[in-house]
Chain A
Amino acid sequence: MNPLHLSHFTATSSIGRGLDQTLDALRQRRSGLAPCAFETVDLATFIGEVAGVDAVQLPAHLAEFDCRNNRLALLGLLQDGFAEAVRAASAKYGAQRVGVFIGTSTSGILQTELAYRRRDPVTGALPADFIYRTTHNTFSVADFTRHYFGLGGPAVVVSSACSSSAKVFSSARRMMAAGLIDAALVGGVDSLCLTTLYGFNSLGLVAEQACRPFDAQRNGISIGEAAAFALLERPAQHLDADAVLLLGIGESSDAYHMSSPHPDGLGARMAMQDALQMAGLQPAEIDYINLHGTATPNNDAAEGKAVHHVFGAGTPCSSTKGATGHTLGAAGGVEAVICALALQHGLLPAGLNIRQFDPTLNLNYVLENRDQPVARALSNSFGFGGTNCSLIFGRADKL
């Protein structure tokens, strides 16, 4: 593929608002996970909640979009000058030439969960203030974003569970290559809700304590929430040395099971290999892998086998979900931004909450932060339904 420039990017999760706080948390090995006190949830688990989401106010003319997911989206868009960069791109290329591609798994479903508690006792009707289109509907977050910026280009939500905001990069790449747009606002936004907390709990996949990816005793995920965005543009003639480029994408389906990965990580392996092929890179040219690493026994085992198959035991890798929690449909976006920070700042972020690395897996798992140059990084995102996506990012001076 022709590399695409991540001309601006930002992430907001439980470890911080924007890049500075996110980088600082990674450097300090600070986790955003805490015992769950969200809403009325009565589960013994840790979550990665973003502070201050309830206080976010949407502009009055977009009030019908008001829900936790769109508040979190706006909070994320307002960090790091990202909103200004989108407006500048809109002015430069024209509002019709900027596309919007956002990943989410549950969108504003919390709004519907709450509305179901206020049904009319006689008719069963939902309360009159419930607005389906702009809150519950999966498209709501992309629709909010395009209205917020007045963008008129193609807009879509990708919703393939936990691969969603990795796969937005692929949809945007194709749309740019096809010539329909000149810039793409890509990202992922997922917010806490009862469906995912009780749903993952029903599958026995929720950890009681903070999740421990790739630990021998790992026992499930910690659910988080996040908003992460990137602006994709064709690279200018001259880029800064530390400019971050999207170099390759690999996508596959497991064709195996709805909620368990292929035991040998066959689909994951295909996604990583296809990303390397698209980037024209050998496995040894990848300096860091940000693993999907959810901390369920099966997921990490399958991913560990797949990574070992493709890369052997040498490539440094870690999961950052011990810090952020599993932000589901936002995870691909958050971890793309963490890869970008790793590239720009020469940081291999350690995996957190590890007491003993799983001895059955043969990987170069990063247990302490390492300061060293990172030229190219790969990020894995896998999801329910057997959907897999791997992204490769690189520094402009290492092309």
Chain B
Amino acid sequence: MTIAMLSTTTLTAYIEGIGLLGPGLIDWPSSQAVLGGQQPYQPQKTILSPPALLPAAERRRSGAIIKLTLATGLEAITAAGLDPASLPSVFSASGGDGENCHAICEMLASDDRQISPTRFHNSVHNAAAGYWSIATGAMATSSVLCAFDASFGAGLLEALTQVVVDDTHSVLLAYDTAYPEPLHSARPIPDAFGIALVLAPQRSAQTVAKISVSLTDASADQFDDAALEALRIAIPAARGLPLLRAIALRQDRQVVLDYLDSTRLAVAVTLC
């Protein structure tokens, strides 16, 4: 298949590690057979574990978004055999901590507006990046992004430009968590889901796949499996799943990932 390019610019990086956590998807190794179609996808509530790496005070204050990003980020970095303290990062999410946002809005609409300091500092969009740097000791830069439903594509582009322009490794963390009602009805993200990718500028012994990414106006790839396709549509971070499927299938493929309304990402995946 040939895919029309909007621009001749292609950004190339090498995936060295993958992290995955979502409904019915426990980690990357156990999810490959599901994404590759050898095993049925069985959605179950996302299992989030307390982050052992955080100091006790921060662990107590950490919500779903912190647990999710520490799980996927560390899975990817461990697979790549790297030290998280040394890595620049990109955190991309379509929203912040939904439970926390709801609690603050509820209090601000009440007679007692004295929200707690912890609620407030957890409300910033970069809370996950802040906890990440405390947990891992990473003092390198972290880009914290939001592009609504385009957040996976925006994060991937940002991480690729770090890799290509600054000639560095980068870890991309794309993730979303659910809002409780009444915000859930306005933004119906069903559950927590995250993908993490360690990207490198050169091929190495750890390389899983080479990706070459360009902008396109072709339509985004879908899943034949209705439940996987529902997941891809429902959670912005899951718009990256067709890339993981190509790697799970261990085939060189052209993948199109969703991005902005008029622009998608064409990804040439070469297994290494």
- Smallest CB–CB gap between B168 and chain A, Å? 11
* A167 is an interface residue with CB less than 8 A from chain B: yes
Whether the pair B6, A258 counts as a contact (CB closer than 8 A) is no
Size of B's binding interface in residues, CB under 8 A: 69
Chain A residues contacting B263 (CB-CB under 8 Å) are 96, 152, 154
Q: How far is the CA of A15 from the CA of B134 in the complex (A)?
A: 37
Do A125 and B182 contact each other (CB < 8 Å), given the known contacts A116-B105, A170-B143, A258-B134? Answer: yes
Whether the pair B127, A253 counts as a contact (CB closer than 8 A) is no
* A160 is an interface residue with CB less than 8 A from chain B: yes
Do A130 and B186 contact each other (CB < 8 Å), given the known contacts A124-B181, A138-B146, A170-B141? Answer: yes
| Cβ contact of B121, chosen from A116, A139, A179, A258, cutoff 8 A | A258
Whether the pair B124, A179 counts as a contact (CB closer than 8 A) is no
Chain B residues contacting A139 (CB-CB under 8 Å) are 94, 146-148, 150-151
Whether the pair B124, A112 counts as a contact (CB closer than 8 A) is no
Chain A residues contacting B114 (CB-CB under 8 Å) are 198, 201-202
Whether the pair B158, A160 counts as a contact (CB closer than 8 A) is no
Q: How far is the CA of A163 from the CA of B131 in the complex (A)?
A: 16
Choose, from A212-220, A222-230, A294-302, A378-386, the stretch at the interface: A378-386
Q: How far is the CA of A284 from the CA of B14 in the complex (A)?
A: 40
Residues 251-277 of chain A, each 1 if its beta carbon lies under 8 Å from chain B, else 0? 111111111000000110010000000
- Smallest CB–CB gap between B129 and chain A, Å? 6
- Smallest CB–CB gap between B23 and chain A, Å? 22
Residue of A nearest to B6 (CB): A96
Q: How far is the CA of A256 from the CA of B135 in the complex (A)?
A: 9
Whether the pair B106, A116 counts as a contact (CB closer than 8 A) is yes
Chain B residues contacting A266 (CB-CB under 8 Å) are 139
Q: How far is the CA of A156 from the CA of B152 in the complex (A)?
A: 11
Residues 146-172 of chain A, each 1 if its beta carbon lies under 8 Å from chain B, else 0? 000000101111111100000100110
Choose, from B33-41, B159-167, B241-249, the stretch at the interface: B159-167
| Cβ contact of B183, chosen from A97, A112, A138, A259, cutoff 8 A | A112
- Smallest CB–CB gap between B49 and chain A, Å? 21
- Smallest CB–CB gap between B217 and chain A, Å? 9
CB-CB contacts below 8 Å: B99-118 with A: 101, 104-106, 108-109, 113-117
Residues 49-89 of chain B, each 1 if its beta carbon lies under 8 Å from chain A, else 0? 00000000010010000000000000000000000010000
| Cβ contact of B139, chosen from A171, A180, A254, A385, cutoff 8 A | A254
Contact-residue size bin, chain A (C-beta under 8 Å from the other chain): 35 or more
Most buried by A among B106, B120, B215: B120
Main SS at interface, chain A = mixed
Q: How far is the CA of A113 from the CA of B158 in the complex (A)?
A: 31
Chain B residues contacting A42 (CB-CB under 8 Å) are 113
Chain A residues contacting B136 (CB-CB under 8 Å) are 255
- Smallest CB–CB gap between A193 and chain B, Å? 9
Whether the pair B142, A195 counts as a contact (CB closer than 8 A) is no
Most buried by B among A167, A259, A385: A385
Chain A residues contacting B85 (CB-CB under 8 Å) are 255
Whether the pair B104, A253 counts as a contact (CB closer than 8 A) is no
Residues 174-207 of chain A, each 1 if its beta carbon lies under 8 Å from chain B, else 0? 1101111000000000000011001111110000
* B138 is an interface residue with CB less than 8 A from chain A: yes
Chain B residues contacting A323 (CB-CB under 8 Å) are none
| Cβ contact of B127, chosen from A171, A199, A258, cutoff 8 A | A258
Whether the pair B7, A180 counts as a contact (CB closer than 8 A) is yes
Do A387 and B142 contact each other (CB < 8 Å), given the known contacts A139-B147, A195-B108? Answer: yes
Residue of A nearest to B160 (CB): A178
Do A199 and B123 contact each other (CB < 8 Å), given the known contacts A126-B182, A170-B143, A259-B117? Answer: yes
Do A96 and B186 contact each other (CB < 8 Å), given the known contacts A116-B109, A174-B158, A202-B117? Answer: no
Residue of B nearest to A274 (CB): B141
Q: How far is the CA of A137 from the CA of B149 in the complex (A)?
A: 10
- Smallest CB–CB gap between A175 and chain B, Å? 6
Chain A residues contacting B129 (CB-CB under 8 Å) are 160, 253, 385, 387
Beyond A116-B109, A198-B108, A385-B129, 14 additional pairs, beta carbon < 8 A: A105-B125, A109-B101, A137-B95, A152-B260, A157-B146, A159-B125, A170-B141, A171-B161, A174-B166, A178-B11, A194-B113, A253-B130, A253-B138, A383-B126
Residues of B within 8 A of A (CB): 6-7, 9, 11, 58, 61, 85, 94-96, 101, 104-106, 108-109, 113-117, 119-127, 129-131, 133-134, 136-148, 150-151, 154, 157-158, 160-162, 164-166, 181-183, 185-187, 215, 260, 262-263
Residues of A within 8 A of B (CB): 42, 96-97, 105, 109, 112-113, 116-117, 119, 124-126, 130-133, 136-140, 142-143, 152, 154-161, 167, 170-171, 173-175, 177-180, 194-195, 198-203, 251-259, 266-267, 270, 383-387
Q: Could you give 9 example pairs across A and B, Cβ below 8 Å?
A: A117-B109, A125-B181, A133-B148, A154-B260, A161-B125, A179-B9, A199-B115, A202-B114, A255-B138
